[in-house]
Structure 1
């Protein structure tokens, strides 16, 4: 059954002089100021059964939000989501009836979008968006003073919240290769946990570069598995997936392990690792692949007994560069001889695009272009092959042997020929270098 949509919209420019509720006192159509009057559990509105309520705040300029909160009186909602300029964050509810839902983590946007979905009647009382105009911070919304490589300051204390794309660290002086940091290269992302239900995880908190416990997300119960699907705007050259988690009061049992697997959607390529749990850990999964979409699955394995303790999901990192670049400083690939338009994420060598990057079993003509060989496909096959410039991509051995007068695997050595009357000796010094022919006339005595 199609759920009817109630759309409430405010348009205007909001002036903020302090870190406070940006939308306080604004009027929303037929509901007036009921959702912005500061009364968190009074002066509410009741929405009919089987209704999706979408509230949109168009603010006229960009703001930094410290938190966004929605307060309820009587509710049995299915899920609630908020959206910024890059992606939406949704939070489903199954057994609990929330009186308030708070989304933490800094967000920048020129609007606030709240979507509440339910199959039953619910009552919502207040929406709050706490923050300052972008580029300001603190109780008085003071103008930020941050390092040259900083993109945006922290709306609470004025420190650098996010560096420009190539930098990271407190003073934005370190090279950055985390493609998820600040959701900069994302097109879409969806983090969720699953046991008997799905629980949405906040995208902002998982990509903000912060692993402190207050900004980690406690998973409901002790889920046996959870996963993340991440889509990027551009093709990326990825080398590592990092997952940071916290565990509390987990029994000391070597049979309790964490299995993390990653695969590139549609390619069949995957990588995995199995770890013993510790109180907190950064789990690293090597993943050398060019892709737009990454699926990460995390499974807890333990004996079939109730497991006490808590699990916190803190951060996910995707290490790498844009496609066509490699290494810690994202150097441009030199792949003129490579068959693929990208290179290995670590050393810039050519990759086998049709065989999950396994160069040891790569079909001929898939690693290097015709006429080239070697790890970087930067060495030319000999023109003295039986078929000129036709050689095996791995070692340069001529396919079909050598042309007349030449020898060795790569057909780069000339043969010596003796005659009764005269002997002419031709010496090829090295292929692809300057060579000279040397001949001498020997007379029989």
Structure 2
């Protein structure tokens, strides 16, 4: 009942007020940079006490900061991160018709929403250098559909800035009321704050008016985060690319894990790591041939030995022995005149059963010298 009365009163006083949301600033802790005095009755809390029918300085319903200051700052702590729609500011008027006598002090103000007490960490909801005299009016509504804990009012007069001539020399808070309308729990939206944000909204944060997510959890995209990442993408905002996944190249849309293993030459959950030395193929499950000329060095995709084959072996993967009659590195040498045809040691070419008549040497490749003949050239003419 109390809330309904306040809303009805605000509509009469301030035509743009909407009563659908909660005034989250009411009676919350407030702070200002400089009080008017130590015993000032115009402390920071006066701007959130729900009273602003008397906007004269003796009405005891407005906060007033110290005189002759180059900066003025005030903030309210909403208690937790909440979903904000808009902010109403009612500045001091001394109960005179608008524009009142203090618009020049109000001119050029800033409004921030932050998750910390530092305005620099927050979102700038409003700032404008007013160029028209007698602006801004003392009643302001600022649309600021963001999430945050602190609403910060700030104004300044810098020595390095040339302001319009009607601006005051100094700045003051002089806030009779600051209302922050929104939903007290950030995971809800709508005029009655009873609609849950879509389930895939990051930190359950969504627009207080439309329910559109203000960011998606990893693996999803779209205004309401209802669309999974497209093929071969994953993660936050679907900006990460899948690794070398097998089959269609798809990976888990949330964490990037390859669902069906890795393509040739890659390993790991995300298939983003090259095969270790000595391994190749899909998910690096195969061993390089032990007969690679450079031990265990092979192409990580197809197993081809990078330095050729060891003596006695052939083919790209060096897994087949030399054909009969061949031996040595990559099987590129021919056996000599062995006694049993072309049979020789496939590694060093030594004839296993001696040489054919008329030849000698370890490889049986030396013709008997003149005057000698027979096996191993032992016969003499």
Question: What TM-score comes out, normalization by structure 2 length?
Answer: 0.47
Question: What TM-score comes out, normalization by structure 1 length?
Answer: 0.42
User: Which has the larger Rg?
Assistant: 2
Give the structure with the higher percent strand: 1
Give the structure with the higher percent helix: 2
